[in-house]
Structure 1
Amino acid sequence: MVYLILFFLLGFFNSSFLSLSLSLSPTHLCRPEQSSALLKFKSNLSISVSIYKTHCLGEVHIPSHKTDSWDEGPDCCKWKGVVCDNKKGNVIGLDLSCRGLIGSLQSNSSLFSLQNLRWLNLAGNYFSNSKIPSEFGKLRSLTYLNLSLTGFTGFVPPEISLLSELVSLDLSLNPLLFRNHDFNMLVHNLRKLENMVLDRMNLSLKQIGAVPLGCWMFQRQAFQKGYPTQLVTLKHLKTLGLSHCVFTEFIPSALGNLTKITFLDISGNMFQGQIPDVFGNLNDLSFMDFSSNKFSGVFPPSAFNLTSLTFMDFSSNFL
């Protein structure tokens, strides 16, 4: 199921990226310091075909590496995966997803000097079990950030919550942890979020000091007290992926406040009790997966009135 979410979000990003590319002037030269920053970023990483094969949805052909074109001329605006604005030549978009990049992303990486970035997609590469650098918080113009399946470990830095312009955030498929305060701050500050994907992460919101109490199974996240109710304050949220998160309690009725939601996946948890009848206002919901939980009782009648729904799965429950 997580691959459906990745496909959905990659499609969202790529279509936006293509639309942006077509609207920009192809003749504008990029700023020399940003061209140098990209080349320095590239020089600190290697390319692994095996990482590409295992990380990118089972594709087995050898990719034509986007970074190969980065040595062909000084104008980085013409390099594959790079998008510039058409006024000042600033790099505002970088799509390096599924490029087989391998190495460590350090806090002094030249990537963080590209502070005009609005779109950044590093999904499907492998950053050698390094921590997410706090310097991501410097990229204040970001509206889209995808770090899924990148091998990052440790705690999600609180500086991510400084990215108040974010519309889409994907941290899925990484063995990461959230400190309780940091997660609350992230939800409080990222009010523009429409897409949030945390599937199969090794997270814990309940901790003593820095020691997580929760499930440490690979590619699982553990919110021990159930659904994080803070999420219902994200009024613009359209995509929410929380599958295989070891949730154990009940779904709050406040779920019905997510009136913009179109994609909701909470499958593969241990939610219990009756599903609250809160779907009356979720008119845009098209995908809903509540399968493989421990729900019981009466099926919520309002779920049958969702006219936009194209996929619904409540299997493997006690309904």
Structure 2
Amino acid sequence: MGLSSCFFSFIRLLLWLSLFHLTLLAHFTSSVKPLCHDDERSSLLQFKESLIINKFASIEPSAYPKVVSWKADKDCCSWDGVTCSEITGHLIELDLTSSYLYGSINSSSSLFHLVHLEWLSLSDNDFNGSKIPSAIKNLSRLSYLSLYNSSFSGQIPWEVLELSNLETLDLTFNFNLKLQKPGLRSLVEKLTYLKVLALGHVNISSPIPDILANLSSLTTLSLKGCQLQGKFPTKIFQLPNLRVLSMRFNAGLNGSLPEFENNTPLEELRLGSTGFSGEIPYSIGNLNSLQILDLSNCSFFGSIPPSLGNLTKIRLLYLNQNGFSGELPTAIGNLSSLEELELSALRHDDERSSVFAVQPKPSYR
């Protein structure tokens, strides 16, 4: 019995030592991050050398040249704007927003060797009228792509539509960029996981396809100043997760407001300077989360519904340059969060009268 007891005690000790060893090994492994891969460090340095630093290439006050700190003798995973996977060491995020980068870029750029990238922002730089390179398709893992205000031009290539994992695509303020062949319909058909689609001031020059209402994950749709035409599909207003809808500055786009359901998540609704018309439905008061409403310079008419007074979170309200009649509802006085109000009402004597006006601030959307 004594011998058997000693044997089992010995076995328990071995098991305890094994468990301790495994725990210690796991802790040590998790605390040591892998260094970046040599080929990725080389690709980053080549990309840096292909461009110059120009302080006029970025307009954001917070801009600074991130790549200046990149040194060949250091771990690239610690470089400014670079994020690597803690498991594989591969570069998965590159954020060079507002980095004073200036120069041209094409498909031979070493940037497109970084095939593990999942997140890429080159926003607020100046790529000197370059076309978006077809080699963008090499970055097939991208879920986030922002080229906002970076001076790209020409037709958006088919290869962008092959980035089937994209959830965010922001090409806003590339004034010489166009989406025509392929067009908006093709983009919507291919990029079915989109949550944010921002193409402000990209030349689209087409109607909005009905199938855009199938993108149920969409939270932001910003197509301002895109030369859109035809009737706006009403079903887009009912997208279940849509928080930002901006169609401003599309004079050829027409439509009307639908009846809004309770708990519709819209926070920003911007339709100013379009051909939208009709009456504002009383149910607009159901938009409990609305913070910005811009219906300025359209063709709305009738009375302003008192239900606007229910929008207690609203900060910016622009209803000017329409054909409204009647008096301003006293319920507007309930809008305690209101910062800016622009309103001109069509009185019964057909004289347009400015009730209150404050110049709006410039806005991304």
User: What is the deviation of 1:288?
Assistant: 2.8
Measured in 1, the distance between the counterparts of 2:234 and 2:151 equals: 28
State the partner residue of 1:216.
Answer: none
State the partner residue of 1:293.
Answer: 298
182-191 or 169-178: bigger deviation: 182-191
CA deviation digits over 1:253-281, x for unaligned, max 9?
Answer: 39979944433333333433334566476
Alignment of 1:86-105 (within 5 A): 86-105=86-105
User: What is the deviation of 1:49?
Assistant: 1.0
User: What is the deviation of 1:36?
Assistant: 1.2
State the partner residue of 2:249.
Answer: 244
User: What is the deviation of 1:146?
Assistant: 1.3
Q: Which amino acid aligns with 1:44?
A: S
Q: Are 1:139 and 2:139 matched, yes or no? A: yes
Q: Are 1:163 and 2:163 matched, yes or no? A: yes
State the partner residue of 1:42.
Answer: 48
Measured in 1, the distance between the counterparts of 2:137 and 2:282 equals: 39
Measured in 2, the distance between the counterparts of 1:137 and 1:42 equals: 21
Measured in 1, the distance between the counterparts of 2:267 and 2:67 equals: 35
Q: Are 1:195 and 2:196 matched, yes or no? A: yes
State the partner residue of 2:258.
Answer: 253
Percent identity over paired residues:
35
Change (3 A) 1:158 1:240: farther
Measured in 1, the distance between the counterparts of 2:195 and 2:239 equals: 8
Helix, strand or coil at the partner of 2:93: strand
User: What is the deviation of 1:162?
Assistant: 2.8
Query: Residue 285 of structure 2 contacts residue 310 of structure 2 at CA under 8 Å; is this kept in 1?
Result: yes
Measured in 2, the distance between the counterparts of 1:182 and 1:248 equals: 17
User: What is the deviation of 1:83?
Assistant: 0.8
More strand by share: 2
Helix, strand or coil at the partner of 2:57: helix
State the partner residue of 2:271.
Answer: 266
RMSD: 3.3
Helix, strand or coil at the partner of 2:255: coil
Q: Which amino acid aligns with 1:102?
A: Y
User: What is the deviation of 1:310?
Assistant: 4.0
User: What is the deviation of 1:245?
Assistant: 3.0
* TM-score normalised by L of structure 2: 0.65
User: What is the deviation of 1:124?
Assistant: 0.8
State the partner residue of 2:65.
Answer: 65
Q: Which runs of 5+ in 2 are unaligned?
A: 1-29, 208-223, 325-365
Query: Residue 163 of structure 1 contacts residue 190 of structure 1 at CA under 8 Å; is this kept in 2?
Result: yes
Q: Which amino acid aligns with 2:36?
A: C
Query: Residue 137 of structure 1 contacts residue 162 of structure 1 at CA under 8 Å; is this kept in 2?
Result: yes
Helix, strand or coil at the partner of 2:106: coil
Measured in 2, the distance between the counterparts of 1:67 and 1:170 equals: 22
Change (3 A) 1:190 1:256: farther
Q: Are 1:185 and 2:186 matched, yes or no? A: yes
Q: Which runs of 5+ in 1 are unaligned?
A: 1-23, 207-218
* TM-score normalised by L of structure 1: 0.73
Query: Residue 203 of structure 1 contacts residue 220 of structure 1 at CA under 8 Å; is this kept in 2?
Result: no
Q: Which amino acid aligns with 1:173?
A: F
Measured in 2, the distance between the counterparts of 1:26 and 1:234 equals: 45
CA deviation digits over 1:104-128, x for unaligned, max 9?
Answer: 1202222122222222111111111
Q: Are 1:84 and 2:90 matched, yes or no? A: no
Change (3 A) 1:232 1:173: same
State the partner residue of 1:222.
Answer: 227
Query: Residue 81 of structure 2 contacts residue 94 of structure 2 at CA under 8 Å; is this kept in 1?
Result: yes
Measured in 1, the distance between the counterparts of 2:312 and 2:134 equals: 43
Report 1 or 2 for greater relative contact order, CA contacts < 8 Å, sequence distance ≥ 6: 1
Change (3 A) 1:133 1:239: farther
User: What is the deviation of 1:87?
Assistant: 0.4
State the partner residue of 1:318.
Answer: 323
State the partner residue of 1:126.
Answer: 126
Change (3 A) 1:181 1:228: farther
Measured in 1, the distance between the counterparts of 2:284 and 2:74 equals: 54
User: What is the deviation of 1:164?
Assistant: 3.2
Change (3 A) 1:73 1:178: same
Query: Residue 162 of structure 2 contacts residue 190 of structure 2 at CA under 8 Å; is this kept in 1?
Result: yes
